């Protein structure tokens, strides 16, 4: 067997061009497979990260009554004693980095010409900035400040539709806690462009002081939003969020704590369906790679059938010939697979470290409301690399074994005459 390994290794090195072509085909196929997997996981990650960073947070604390009535965005059923609840949440889990209160309400915003409905949110500007990335999404003006009452921050699409910019004034009208309408004038202090289309198109943020005055509330918090340290992977993010929600829930009897797993359940359900489609894409990539690998190895074996005849003439048994060619295939497969893993790792590294601007790739194509914008980062997935490597070996083994078996069965004279 040792002698066969040596001969196989020499043969692989002797047929450099053939080995290189086969190895490159395998490397590209397996590398693409690894990269595709990384990008597809990254797409899920960026979508979920955007939800966490701009609208949902890692977990939301609300009353069960509010959740039952949330479609009507009521100014009732708020979190009782939000300050105490926030302290309890911070103490519940060390992974929690910040908590902020929010009050959601539906309002109409008018530029004195048109009036548009908006989803308004009352925020504590400083605390909110610790949970969400909205201040980083400000494209003109500035994020809210408790020191500057009378300012609102609106989505870029809304600003465009109303034809307003920073410094202009808007009238915001909303139903108050007394069930009547109040309206007041606010200065556009900032405009945000976020990965969340609905914030851009109909988002309006105002500081708690202004919202209390407009709505007749007194620090009403429809929800408390929770931030946590970023987990290394999508699965870890979901697991961390579930753990945080469980602990916070235990510390807040009577309140409902929903993790991002629950808050994004529609997306996650869609993702589960999408993953089947993703596997099909990956399968197609693998099939293409497999066809390439089989083709090059088959060609290399068939091109050497006369050589097989010579080996038979020298007295090598069909079994040894079969083994030799299988070993050669495995060696080329190992080299190609290793190259594929290295190439995939290199592409992974690029996507993990540098990322790719989705906007630059898909432009302004509507993704059906999915927050799939920003920079797409890949994710390391060692299991995929192992699968890719093993796949390369198996395909090379099968591709070499079948013609080798056939060649070994040929008569010496037939093999020598084989064209």
Partner 1 sequence: MRLSIKAICASLALSALGAAASAQAPDAAELLARIDGNQAFESIAYVARMEIRVGGQLRVKSMRAWAMGADKAFVEFTNPEDAGTRMLKLGKDLWMYFPAEQDTVRISGHLLKEGMMGSDFSYEDALESDELSSIYSAAVTGEEELGGRRVYVVELKARAQSAKYERRVLKVDAERYVVLAEDMYARSGRLLKTMEAVKVERVSGRWYATELVLRDRLRKDSSTTMVMESLELDPALDQGMFTRAALER
CA distance 117 to 103: 17
Residue 150 vs 318, nearer CB to partner 1: 150
Least distance in angstroms from the C-beta of 182 to partner 1: 5
Residue 213 vs 320, nearer CB to partner 1: 213
Residue 148 vs 185, nearer CB to partner 1: 185
In 10 A of CB 52, how many CB atoms?
25
CB 61 within 8 A of CB 79: yes
Identify any residues that bridge with 153 across adjacent strands, giving them in sequence order: 190, 205
Least distance in angstroms from the C-beta of 106 to partner 1: 5
CB 328 within 8 A of CB 369: no
Residue 176 vs 375, nearer CB to partner 1: 176
Least distance in angstroms from the C-beta of 202 to partner 1: 14
CA distance 133 to 98: 13
CB 93 within 8 A of CB 243: yes
CA distance 120 to 153: 10
CA distance 45 to 40: 9
Residue 185 vs 414, nearer CB to partner 1: 185
Q: Give helix 16-54 / helix 2-14 axis angle, nearest 10°.
A: 90
Binding site for partner 1 (CB under 8 A): 72-74, 105-106, 108, 110, 112-115, 117, 171, 173-176, 178-185, 213-214, 216
Identify any residues that bridge with 117 across adjacent strands, giving them in sequence order: 108
Least distance in angstroms from the C-beta of 115 to partner 1: 5
CA distance 136 to 82: 26
Least distance in angstroms from the C-beta of 79 to partner 1: 19
Residue 193 vs 198, nearer CB to partner 1: 198
Residue 180 vs 364, nearer CB to partner 1: 180
Q: Which two tokens stand for residue 60?
A: 């939301």
Residue 181 vs 250, nearer CB to partner 1: 181
Cα–Cα distances (Å) from 275 to 106, 221, 279, 356, 362, in that order, read 35, 37, 6, 21, 20
Cα–Cα distances (Å) from 328 to 4, 344, 404, in that order, read 9, 24, 10
């Amino acid at each position: 067997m040792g002698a066969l390994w040596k001969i196989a290794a020499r043969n692989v090195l002797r047929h450099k061009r053939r080995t290189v072509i086969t190895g490159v085909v395998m490397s590209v196929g397996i590398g693409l497979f690894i990269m595709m997997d990384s990008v597809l996981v990254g797409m899920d990650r960026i979508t979920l990260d955007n939800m966490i960073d701009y609208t949902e947070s890692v977990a939301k604390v609300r009353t069960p009554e509010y959740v039952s009535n949330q479609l009507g965005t009521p100014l009732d059923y708020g979190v009782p004693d939000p300050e105490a609840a926030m302290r309890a949440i911070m103490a519940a889990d060390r992974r929690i980095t910040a908590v902020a209160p929010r009050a959601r309400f539906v309002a109409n915003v008018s530029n004195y010409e048109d009036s548009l409905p908006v989803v308004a949110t009352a925020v504590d500007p400083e605390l909110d900035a610790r949970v969400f990335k909205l201040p980083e999404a400000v494209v003109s003006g500035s994020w809210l400040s408790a020191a500057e009452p009378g300012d609102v921050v609106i989505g870029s699409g809304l600003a465009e539709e109303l034809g307003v910019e920073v410094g202009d004034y808007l009238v915001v009208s909303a139903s108050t806690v007394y069930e009547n309408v109040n309206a007041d004038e606010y200065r556009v202090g900032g405009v945000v462009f976020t990965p969340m289309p609905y914030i851009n198109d109909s988002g309006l943020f105002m500081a708690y002081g202004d919202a209390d005055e407009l709505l007749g509330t007194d620090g009403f918090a429809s929800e408390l939003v929770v931030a946590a340290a970023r987990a290394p992977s999508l699965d870890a993010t979901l697991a961390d969020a579930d753990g945080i929600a469980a602990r916070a829930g235990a510390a807040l009897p009577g309140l409902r704590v929903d993790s991002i797993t629950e808050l994004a359940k529609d997306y996650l359900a869609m993702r589960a369906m999408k993953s089947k489609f993703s596997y099909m894409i990956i399968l197609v990539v693998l099939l293409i790679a497999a066809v390439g690998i089989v083709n090059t190895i088959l060609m290399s074996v068939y091109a050497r059938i006369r050589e097989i005849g010579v080996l038979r003439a020298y007295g090598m048994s069909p079994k040894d010939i079969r083994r030799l060619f299988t070993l050669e295939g495995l060696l080329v497969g190992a080299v190609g697979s290793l190259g594929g893993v290295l190439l995939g790792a290199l592409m992974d590294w690029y996507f993990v470290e540098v990322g790719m601007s989705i906007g630059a790739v898909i432009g302004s194509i509507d993704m059906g409301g999915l927050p799939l914008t920003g920079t797409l980062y890949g994710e390391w997935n060692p299991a995929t690399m192992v699968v890719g490597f093993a796949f390369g070996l198996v395909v090379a083994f099968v591709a070499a074994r079948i013609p080798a078996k056939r060649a070994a069965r040929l008569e010496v004279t037939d093999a020598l005459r084989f064209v």
